[in-house]
């Protein structure tokens, strides 16, 4: 017995001595942070992170091969602790979630009958899957099998549904998916996603300059999830209330229902859900990513500036807006009249954006009250310039400076600021765009007896929105087509008395595809008016460049249209830390264009702030369409008229500036939403009581 | 020829996994993916050869010499565990590439019954040093062969429609049984 004991002690002693010696001899220096990091990982050795055990993961984190958030079971605190050890921003601790990108599921038709192994990967090898849709979900659930947390299920519509509560964002489903249906993204990545050629996108979502996921929010509206619908819109558009009122909705031109029937009234649905939020009395909370500690200055508080600030703030940057006018909103506050976009609504919407923690300085004009040097000295890392196009182009005719001559934006802005403007009884507005219509409709509300629109082409060529032209017709404006003003004639007091114009006729089509008007010699005609307002386009006011002759801002290059020169894909100007978008870069365009470019600039600024190369989005769909998604015929449609926008009767509207267009009532909105075919890249839902619809079921 | 027969016997006929049913837990645990199965097989070959040799030495020059054969099991556990620890440290310092390759499998084998079983079998069959070396290597190769075969089959099973109650480990055990049956056909070959 004694010897057994001694023997075991002996062997034990030998082993421990050998081991302790060898641990000295074979000592390998390890970064002490590896052990510290490992203590903060879950310790489950589950391998969900893709590394062989927690120590390997810890090593990868310390070597910079993996982000602090690599551990999929770790809590938010754990991730933050790791981030702290590594000395990186907690911004990296933003937790990713898995999202399904396919709206179609099993709606697309089959190319062949599949009897092979139940694996998406296997089926994808055979002609990319059995569905005719090249990007859509295969539906055999490789993602479901890959998920270790039972967070993914194949939903009733045949595509995966993610339970956000259970999802830890490990990315296993994304790796398992042979298509790009399941994508694991952080909120910031979602906000900075731009349409790409391989995406599952309906024609409307491809057309929207802000790239809103239109089918998704209409679907949410249909299901009564109004709040979710607003959130979907806010991923792309910070101004749904304003856009819901003034957007000329280019999306509706591409609506698939519009091929066989009237298009879905997408914009009214947007207005319905955003008005629902405003009228509900409480704001839907807007999520933001953790702070990054980087500062950005946004010059100009118009749609482009607000959009850029909104998205930069949501991805965690600190933003300040500098606005020259007394209030934020830019052209949509000062250029769009009250009867189209009430100031109360705009105030409510802008307050929601500022509530995210954006600082706004008003009444400070760039180039006069502050310069680029001051911004850089105050620690701003990048600048967005969205100062709009506020300088009216002049007609360049004799008598333009007579008393009674105005310019559109100047007139509208002075009027909305509450300035008293001397009015006559009759007026002529020169131009055929939206600001011309805004001017005439405003003038009619001011009690003028006769208001003319003088336009050098015909009604068909007018660039203004059709609904606006119609409304102005109803309100009694008088059109003078094919007329080019040549002279303003004044009386002896220097007041406007008459407008002289030449009659025109249409000739050959020009570069824009519109027939070029040519003057008819000797056809001078006189129009008796007391006011002349010219509304013939605007250009940016770039006088700030000349006010600081020695500053760097002098290097900011302009185009020959006096807009700021930039690369349209990344919106970077000739000064690397200045980005620009909206009217100042494009010349007068739509609000929704400015919103889209604000977000695009936010993406570039984010890349710039992170020290990454500012490169365009790969396979970008900017100004492009997916060919196969544009149909010529759409079988399975039963004609149903679209919802008519309720509006105030002409008799009642001309007395005041109250809003003309009203919001759809709930039942009408739901009915309109039901007209949406819920299109995706190539599939759509035909109307169910149509005989064609039964074919696929 | 004697050694060749011994090797064949250890790899196929007395396969440590499918005939002796030792080391079933890594057999089920590390056979879900081909990659891990290969890693595990390599680690087992490495450790088993070392363990076989050192336990033979311990048995011949310590246990037998002092008439302490009844302490065989407990002392082997101690020796094998220390050996693996030692090897791990050694590899980490001297051959980091091999250490990275074997990764987490090395410490996993510390308490593996296949290793222990093979060592005890060597002693009980009273092999000499050379035979011990050959048989340890062959047992390990047999382990690796069975594991890699099994991993291949399991990867295929993943793609098939398996009834719910039989999914995952249950179907794996059934499959393991079928493979063991096929291995029985080697019986009587040598």
Give the pLDDT confidence of B53-82 residue by residue, as tens digits.
Answer: 999 999 999 888 888 888 888 899 888 888
Number of domains in chain B: 1
Say which residue, A103 or A285, is predicted with more confidence.
A285
Q: Could you give the angle at which helices A408-416 and A434-445 cross, rounded to 10 degrees?
A: 40
| DSSP structure class, residue A417 | T
Min Cα distance A148 → chain B (Å) is: 13
A11 touches B: beta carbon within 8 Å: yes
Tokens of A335: 């250029």
Tokens of A374: 């001051």
Min Cα distance B155 → chain A (Å) is: 12
In chain A, where the domains are located: 1-30, 31-92, 94-185, 391-539
Chain A residues 471-530 with a CB less than 8 Å from chain B:
none
Tokens of A295: 């500062």
- Percent of chain B past pLDDT 70, that is, above it, reads 97
Q: Would you state the pLDDT for residue A395?
A: 86
Chain A residues 137-156 with a CB less than 8 Å from chain B:
145
Q: Would you state the pLDDT for residue A429?
A: 94
Report which secondary-structure segment, H or E, holds A600: helix A591-609
Q: Would you state the pLDDT for residue B93?
A: 83
Q: Provide the CATH number for the domain formed by A31-92 in this structure.
A: 1.10.15.40
Report which secondary-structure segment, H or E, holds A503: strand A496-509
B36 domain residue, yes or no: yes
Homologous superfamily of A391-539 in CATH? Answer: FAD/NAD(P)-binding domain (3.50.50.60)
Tell me if B92 and A28 make a contact (CB, 8 A cut-off).
Answer: yes
Q: Which of A62, A66, A143 is nearest to A101 (CA)?
A: A143
Judging contacts by C-beta atoms under 8 Å, the chain B residues touching residue A148 are: none
Mean pLDDT to the nearest integer, A90-98: 59
Q: Would you state the pLDDT for residue A382?
A: 94
Is residue A609 within 8 Å of residue A296, measured between CB atoms? yes
- Percent of chain A past pLDDT 90, that is, above it, reads 39
Min Cα distance A179 → chain B (Å) is: 18
Is residue A627 within 8 Å of residue A198, measured between CB atoms? no
Give the pLDDT confidence of B139-152 residue by residue, as tens digits.
Answer: 999 999 999 999 99
**Sheet of A531-534, strands arranged across:** A405-407, A531-534, A426-430, A450-454, A478-480
Predicted ipTM?
A: 0.77
Mean pLDDT to the nearest integer, B28-55: 86
Is residue B178 within 8 Å of residue B83, measured between CB atoms? no
Lowest model confidence (mean pLDDT) among A226-240, A490-504, A675-689: A675-689
Q: Would you state the pLDDT for residue A47?
A: 66
How open is the CA angle A679-A683-A686, to the nearest 5 degrees? Answer: 75
What is the model's pTM?
A: 0.76
Q: How confident is the model at residue A119 (pLDDT cuts 50, 70, 90)?
A: confident
User: Is pLDDT of A331 > 50?
Assistant: yes
Mean pLDDT, rounded, of chain A: 87
Domain A94-185 coded CATH 3.30.428.10: no
Segments forming the whole domain that contains residue B26: 2-184
Nearest residue on chain A to B63, alpha-carbon basis: A7
C-alpha separations of A147 from A141, A144, A162 in Å? 10, 5, 10
Who among A15, A23, A26 is closest to B78 (CB)? A15
Tokens of A623: 């100004």
C-alpha separations of A624 from A197, A630, B162 in Å? 9, 11, 46
User: Is pLDDT of A77 > 80?
Assistant: no
Judging contacts by C-beta atoms under 8 Å, the chain B residues touching residue A56 are: 103-104
Q: Would you state the pLDDT for residue B2?
A: 86
Mean pLDDT to the nearest integer, A54-77: 77
Give the pLDDT confidence of A633-660 residue by residue, as tens digits.
Answer: 888 888 888 888 888 888 888 878 888 8
Mean pLDDT to the nearest integer, A536-554: 84
Tell me if B159 and A23 make a contact (CB, 8 A cut-off).
Answer: no
Who among A4, A15, A23 is closest to B79 (CB)? A15
C-alpha separations of B171 from A633, A666, B154, B155, B163 in Å? 51, 55, 9, 12, 9
Judging contacts by C-beta atoms under 8 Å, the chain A residues touching residue B68 are: 3-4, 7
Is residue A517 within 8 Å of residue A456, measured between CB atoms? yes
Mean pLDDT to the nearest integer, B123-145: 92
Say which residue, B100 or A310, is predicted with more confidence.
A310
Mean pLDDT to the nearest integer, B167-185: 90
A377 touches B: beta carbon within 8 Å: no
Min Cα distance A170 → chain B (Å) is: 19
B190 domain residue, yes or no: no
Judging contacts by C-beta atoms under 8 Å, the chain B residues touching residue A22 are: 86, 89-90
Residue of A1, A2, A4 to mutate for B, most B C-beta atoms under 10 A: A4
Tell me if A4 and B71 make a contact (CB, 8 A cut-off).
Answer: yes
For chains A and B, count residue pairs whose Cβ atoms are closer than 8 Å: 58
Judging contacts by C-beta atoms under 8 Å, the chain A residues touching residue B30 are: none
Q: Would you state the pLDDT for residue A88?
A: 63
Q: How confident is the model at residue B7 (pLDDT cuts 50, 70, 90)?
A: very high
Residue of A9, A13, A16, A19 to mutate for B, most B C-beta atoms under 10 A: A19
Min Cα distance B71 → chain A (Å) is: 7
User: Is pLDDT of A94 > 70?
Assistant: no
How many angstroms separate the CA atoms of A37 and A74, rounded?
12
B149 domain residue, yes or no: yes
Q: Would you state the pLDDT for residue B111?
A: 66
B79 touches A: beta carbon within 8 Å: yes
C-alpha separations of A288 from A94, A156, A295, A610, B94 in Å? 10, 32, 15, 18, 49
Say which residue, A28 or A333, is predicted with more confidence.
A333
Nearest residue on chain B to A2, alpha-carbon basis: B68
Q: Given CA atoms A237, A241, A247, A253 in this order, what sign does their dihedral have?
A: positive
């Amino acid at each position: 017995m004694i010897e057994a004991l001694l023997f075991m002690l002996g062997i034990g002693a030998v082993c421990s001595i050998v081991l302790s010696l060898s641990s000295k001899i074979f000592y390998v220096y390890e970064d002490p942070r590896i052990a510290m990091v490992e203590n903060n990982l879950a310790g489950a050795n589950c391998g969900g992170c893709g590394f062989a055990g927690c120590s390997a993961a810890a090593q990868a984190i310390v070597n910079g091969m993996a982000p602090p958030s690599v551990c999929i079971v770790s809590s938010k605190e754990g991730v933050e602790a790791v981030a702290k050890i590594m000395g990186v921003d907690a911004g990296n601790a933003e937790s990713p979630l898995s999202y399904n990108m396919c709206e179609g599921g099993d709606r697309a038709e089959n190319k062949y009958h599949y009897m092979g192994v139940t694996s998406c990967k296997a089926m994808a090898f055979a002609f990319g899957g059995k569905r005719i849709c090249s990007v859509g979900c295969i539906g055999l659930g490789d993602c479901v099998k890959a998920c270790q947390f039972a967070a993914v299920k194949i939903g009733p519509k045949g595509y995966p549904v993610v339970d956000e509560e259970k999802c830890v964002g490990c990315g296993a489903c994304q790796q398992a998916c042979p298509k790009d249906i399941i994508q694991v993204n952080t909120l910031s990545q979602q906000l900075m996603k731009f349409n790409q050629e391989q995406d599952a996108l309906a024609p409307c979502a491809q057309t929207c300059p802000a790239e809103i996921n239109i089918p998704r929010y209409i679907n949410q509206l249909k299901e009564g999830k109004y709040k979710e619908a607003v959130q979907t819109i806010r991923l792309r558009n910070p101004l749904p209330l304003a856009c819901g009122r003034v957007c000329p909705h280019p999306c509706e031109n591409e609506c698939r229902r519009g091929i066989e029937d009237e298009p879905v009234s997408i914009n009214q649905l947007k207005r319905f859900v955003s008005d629902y939020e405003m009228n509900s009395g409480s704001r839907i909370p807007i999520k933001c990513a953790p702070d990054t500690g980087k500062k950005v200055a946004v010059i100009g508080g118009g749609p482009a500036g607000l959009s850029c600030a909104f998205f930069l703030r949501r991805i965690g940057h600190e933003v300040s807006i500098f606005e020259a006018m007394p209030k934020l909103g830019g052209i949509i506050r000062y250029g769009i009249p009250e009867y189209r976009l009430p100031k109360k609504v705009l105030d409510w919407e802008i307050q929601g954006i500022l509530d995210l923690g954006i600082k706004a300085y008003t009444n400070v004009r760039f180039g006069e009250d502050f310069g680029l040097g001051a911004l850089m000295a105050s620690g701003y890392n990048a600048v967005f310039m969205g100062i709009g196009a506020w300088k009216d182009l002049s007609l360049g005719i004799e008598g333009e400076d007579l008393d009674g001559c105005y310019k559109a934006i100047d007139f509208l802005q002075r009027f909305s600021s509450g300035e008293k403007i001397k009015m006559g009884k009759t007026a002529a507005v020169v131009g055929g765009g939206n600001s011309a219509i805004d001017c005439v409709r405003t003038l009619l509300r001011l009690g003028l007896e006769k208001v003319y629109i003088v336009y050098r082409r015909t009604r068909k060529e007018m660039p203004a929105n059709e609904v606006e032209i119609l409304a102005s017709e109803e309100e009694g404006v008088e059109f003078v087509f094919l007329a080019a003003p040549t002279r303003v004639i004044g009386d002896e007091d220097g007041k406007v008395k008459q407008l002289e114009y030449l009659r025109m006729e249409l000739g050959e089509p020009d570069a824009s595809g519109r027939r070029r008007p040519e003057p008819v010699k000797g056809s001078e005609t006189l129009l008796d008016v007391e006011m002349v307002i010219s509304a013939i386009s605007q250009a940016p006011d770039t006088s700030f460049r000349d006010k600081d002759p020695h500053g760097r801002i002098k290097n900011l290059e302009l185009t020959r249209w006096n807009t700021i020169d930039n690369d349209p894909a990344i919106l970077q100007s000739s000064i690397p830390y200045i980005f620009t978008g909206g009217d100042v870069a494009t010349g007068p365009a739509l609000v929704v264009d400015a919103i889209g470019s604000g977000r695009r600039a936010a993406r570039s600024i984010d890349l710039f702030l992170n020290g990454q190369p500012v490169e365009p989005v790969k396979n970008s769909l900017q100004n492009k369409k997916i060919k196969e998604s544009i149909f010529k015929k759409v079988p399975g449609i039963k004609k149903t008229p679209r919802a008519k926008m309720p509006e105030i009767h002409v008799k009642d509207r001309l007395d005041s500036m109250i809003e003309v267009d009203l919001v759809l009532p709930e039942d009408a909105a739901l009915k309109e939403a039901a007209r949406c075919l819920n299109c995706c890249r190539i599939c759509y839902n035909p109307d169910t009581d149509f005989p064609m619809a039964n074919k696929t079921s | 020829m004697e050694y060749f027969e011994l090797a064949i016997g250890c790899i196929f006929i007395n396969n440590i996994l499918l005939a002796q049913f030792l080391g079933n837990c890594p057999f089920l645990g590390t056979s879900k993916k081909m990659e891990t199965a290969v890693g595990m097989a390599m680690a087992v070959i490495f450790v088993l050869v070392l363990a076989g040799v050192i336990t033979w030495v311990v048995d011949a020059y310590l246990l037998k010499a002092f008439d302490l054969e009844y302490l065989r099991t407990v002392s082997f556990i101690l020796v094998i565990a220390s050996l693996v620890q030692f090897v791990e440290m050694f590899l980490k310092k001297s051959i980091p590439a091999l250490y990275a390759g074997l990764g987490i499998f090395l410490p996993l084998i510390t308490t593996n019954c296949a290793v222990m079983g093979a060592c005890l079998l060597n002693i009980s069959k009273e092999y000499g040093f050379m035979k011990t070396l050959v048989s340890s290597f062959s047992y390990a190769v047999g382990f690796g062969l069975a594991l890699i075969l099994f991993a291949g089959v399991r990867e295929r099973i993943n793609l098939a429609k398996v009834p719910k109650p039989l999914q995952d480990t249950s179907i794996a055990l059934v499959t393991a049984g079928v493979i063991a049956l096929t291995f029985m056909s080697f019986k009587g070959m040598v």
